[in-house]
Amino acid sequence: MISSTAIEVDAYLEAALLSDDPVLQAVAEASEAAGLVPHAVTPLQAEFLSMLIKVSGARRVLEIGCLGGYSAVAMARALPADGNVLTTEIDTRTAEVAQANIEASRYAEKIELRVGPAMEVLLEQVEAKAVFDFIFIDADKVNHRNYLDQALKLSRPGTLIVADNVVRGGALVDEGSRENSVRGVRAMFDFARDLEGVQMTALQTVGAKGYDGMALFRVE
């Protein structure tokens, strides 16, 4: 359940802190018109990702789960001139919408969209010994653990990995949950528990998208 207060507060904070953003607004509107699920990050969350990219000085970004391209465009825009985003989308029709949005955003030269299962792209990147500065994990939550595992292989000291939707309305703490997404996120935290050399934290979030959270991993 999404609280109306949280929605109102999000609107208030957006009005206070964010400028009009025709670029991201166009992505959001086209995604909605195309019937994509309303799972993109919020404007405030997009600005949070943008800020993380800027403060970390990231140039090479990997996104796992593109949806309509909202976060990909927000992240591409935060990068220096020689920076770029590699993003993945498993659904062909969603990817077509995303590609059109990316081209309309004029950040197309900074964003490469690969259509296919994220794990295939990850394994191929691992094989190629690619290294990323910033990785946003936001695909199916079932594979959160596996995506984090591969993301760490694509990291260097200083790489920041952000995993979206790790609280799931609080279902995270339901150890008997039969929901595959909850099990996937719990598997990610079980995996994280044993990690060494990675600074980790998580933030619970509440807002227009309800009660959720992001986990952050910084490779040391």
Binding site for ligand DHB (CB under 6 A): 39, 138, 164-165, 209
Q: How far is the CB of 67 from ligand DHB (least distance, A)?
A: 7
| Residue pair 154/60 in contact by the 8 Å Cβ criterion | no
What is the Cα–Cα distance from 42 to 53, expressed in whole angstroms? 16
Q: Which is nearer to ligand DHB, 102 or 185 (CB)?
A: 185
Q: How far is the CB of 44 from ligand DHB (least distance, A)?
A: 13
Sheet holding 210-219, edge to edge: 111-115, 84-89, 60-64, 134-137, 160-164, 210-219, 198-207
Q: Taking CB under 5 A as the rule, does residue 138 contact Mg ion?
A: yes
Opening angle at CA 200, ends 42 and 130, nearest 5: 80
Q: Taking CB under 5 A as the rule, does residue 165 contact Mg ion?
A: yes
Q: 71 is in the binding site of which of Mg ion, ligand DHB, none (Cβ under 5 to 8 A by kind)? A: none
Q: Which stretch binds Mg ion (CB under 5 A): 19-27, 50-58, 165-173, 190-198?
A: 165-173
Q: Which is nearer to ligand DHB, 87 or 165 (CB)?
A: 165
Distances (CA, A) of 58 to 26, 34, 45, 160, 195: 25, 31, 17, 9, 23
Q: Which is nearer to ligand DHB, 83 or 144 (CB)?
A: 144
At position 214, the amino acid (one-letter code) is M
Tell me the three state secondary structure of residue 87: strand
Q: Taking CB under 5 A as the rule, does residue 88 contact Mg ion?
A: no
Q: How far is the CB of 136 from Mg ion (least distance, A)?
A: 9
Which residues of this chain interact with Mg ion, rule CB under 5 A? 138, 164-165
